[in-house]
Amino acid sequence: MRSLKFGWLIPVAILFVISFPPLFGHEIVAVLCGNVWGLWEGFGIVALGTLIGEVGNFYAFRYMCRARAEKLERDVWWYACLARTVREGGFIIAIVARLSAIPGHFTTAVFATAGMNIFVFLVAAILSSPKQFATVYVGGMLSHVSPIFLDADLDLQLFLKNRHPLPSPTPSPESSLTPSLAFLSSSQSRPDGISIKR
C-alpha cells in the first residue's frame, strides 16, 4: 500500500467504516499502519481515519437514532442516568470516557444521542487521539523485529541444507555377535522318531 500514491486512503476508508458499531478491528488496522508506514506517519493516518469515522458516527446516531434514544431515556432508568451525566458533565465526561477502555465508537453513539455539542466532542476526540499511539507503536516495532526473525529462519535453513551428515558409528565387536541360525537348517527329531526337515 505504501508504494501506491494514495495508498494511505485505504486504511482511512477502512477506519471510517469500522467506526460504526458493532463493527470492530480498529486495533488491527492501527498495527498494520504502524508496520507499513512507520510510527509517525502511521499514527497520523490512524488519527485522521478515526476522527473522520467518529464524526460520521456522531452525526449518524444524532439524526437517525435520536427518536429511539429519547424513548429509551423515558423508559430505561440507567440510560436516563447516563444521558443526564453526559449532558451535565460536558467536556470532562467526554475526555474521561474517550480515554477509558470503552471502545470509542460506543461512547460516540451515547454522546450523540444524549445531545452533546459537536465542538465539545471534537476537542475531546482530538485530545484523546494519543490513546491510539500504543497500537501504532507495536506495529512499528514489528517492522523492525520481523527481519531479524526472517534472517534467523534463513540462517537455520542454510545450516540444515549445508550440514554434513554425521559419520555412522562403527559397530562394536560385542554387537556384531549374532546368534547362530544353523539350527533352522538342521534336522530335528521328534521323540516318536519322525525326522522333521526345516
Domain membership of residue 37 (yes or no) is yes
With a cut of 70, say whether residue 164 has pLDDT above it. no
Domain membership of residue 192 (yes or no) is no
| Number of CB atoms found within 10 A of residue 67's CB | 10
**pLDDT tens sequence across 175-190:** 444 554 444 444 455 5
Greater pLDDT, 186 or 80: 80
Domain membership of residue 150 (yes or no) is no
**pLDDT tens sequence across 144-156:** 665 554 454 455 5
- Element of type H or E holding 24: none
C-alpha cell at 194: 519322525
Domain membership of residue 80 (yes or no) is yes
Domain membership of residue 118 (yes or no) is yes
pLDDT of residue 129: 85
With a cut of 50, say whether residue 141 has pLDDT above it. yes
Proportion of the chain above pLDDT 90, given as a percent: 5
- Interatomic CA distance for residues 124 and 15, integer angstroms: 18
Range of the domain at 68: 9-139
pLDDT of residue 115: 81
Q: Are 18 and 29 in contact (CB under 8 A)?
A: yes
With a cut of 70, say whether residue 95 has pLDDT above it. yes
Residue carrying C-alpha cell 464524526: 55
Instruction: Say if residue 191 is exposed, middle or buried (CB neighbours under 10 Å; 0-12, 13-18, 19+).
Output: exposed
With a cut of 60, say whether residue 106 has pLDDT above it. yes
**pLDDT tens sequence across 4-40:** 778 888 889 999 998 887 778 888 888 888 888 888 8
User: Cα angle vertex 9, ends 7, 10, to 5°?
Assistant: 75
Domain membership of residue 23 (yes or no) is yes
pLDDT of residue 35: 86
pLDDT of residue 158: 57
Sign, CA dihedral 183-184-185-186, equals positive
Q: Across residues 129-150, what is the average pLDDT?
A: 75
pLDDT of residue 13: 92
pLDDT of residue 48: 92
Domain membership of residue 149 (yes or no) is no
**pLDDT tens sequence across 45-61:** 999 999 999 999 899 88
Q: Are 184 and 198 in contact (CB under 8 A)?
A: yes
Among candidate residues 161, 80, 78, the one with its CA nearest the CA of residue 114: 80
User: Under DSSP, is residue 36 helix (H, G, I), strand (E, B) or coil?
Assistant: helix
Residue 9 DSSP code = H
Residue 164 DSSP code = P
- When divided into structural domains, the chain yields a total of 1
Domain membership of residue 173 (yes or no) is no
Question: What integer best gives the mean pLDDT of the chain?
Answer: 76
